[in-house]
Amino acid sequence: MNQCPLCNGPTTIFWLHDFIWEQVIVSNPDAKDLTCIRCAEVAIGRPLTLRDLSIDNFGHTAKNMIFKPGVMREYVQAFVIGACEASNNQGYWPESWTNADDRLTQLGKKVGGYLAKNTSDICPILDELIQAADEFNC
Ligand SMILES: [Zn+2]
């Protein structure tokens, strides 16, 4: 578990669009690499939603980290599965995806589910994220 540099609370690794992250950094120069969701929300002045999540940025970072092949792909998919489950779109994701029960998947699903609850008009963004996560290959 990673630690948020702003509140010292636990945080999960997740990726936002660059323009959202830039807003976080402007008000929190100490944030550097990551913050918890709550501190990011305080910084941008609103709840985070699925539209703030950047699958592309998961990929950019994954290239610089050491993971067992396929692990990052499953983690990305876990965010989307969690978002589908939390918005009553059970089974909306591709059948080929692994819906594992390991710790990393649970973390991703928890964050995805949380973001889904803050997201209005969810189907278009779910479609977009499903496509991006399905094409994700790191
Ligand atoms: Zn924090």
- 90 CA distance to ligand 1 centroid (A)? 30
Q: Mean pLDDT throughout 54-73?
A: 82
What average pLDDT does the segment 17-44 reach? Answer: 91
Task: Compute, in angstroms, the gap from residue 11 CA to the centroid of ligand 1.
Answer: 7
| Distance separating alpha carbons of residues 27 and 18, to the nearest angstrom | 15
pLDDT score of 1 more than 90:
no
- Over 90: is that where the pLDDT of 63 sits? no
Provide φ and ψ at 11, rounded to 5°: -145, 155
Confidence label for 12 from pLDDT (cuts 50, 70 and 90): confident
User: Which one, of 97, 119, 115, lies nearest residue 107 by Cα?
Assistant: 115
Contact between 42 and 69 (Cβ < 8 Å):
no
What is residue 60's predicted lDDT score, i.e. its pLDDT? 80
Cα 127 from chain centre: 15
pLDDT single digits (tens) 81-112: 999 999 999 989 999 998 889 999 999 999 99
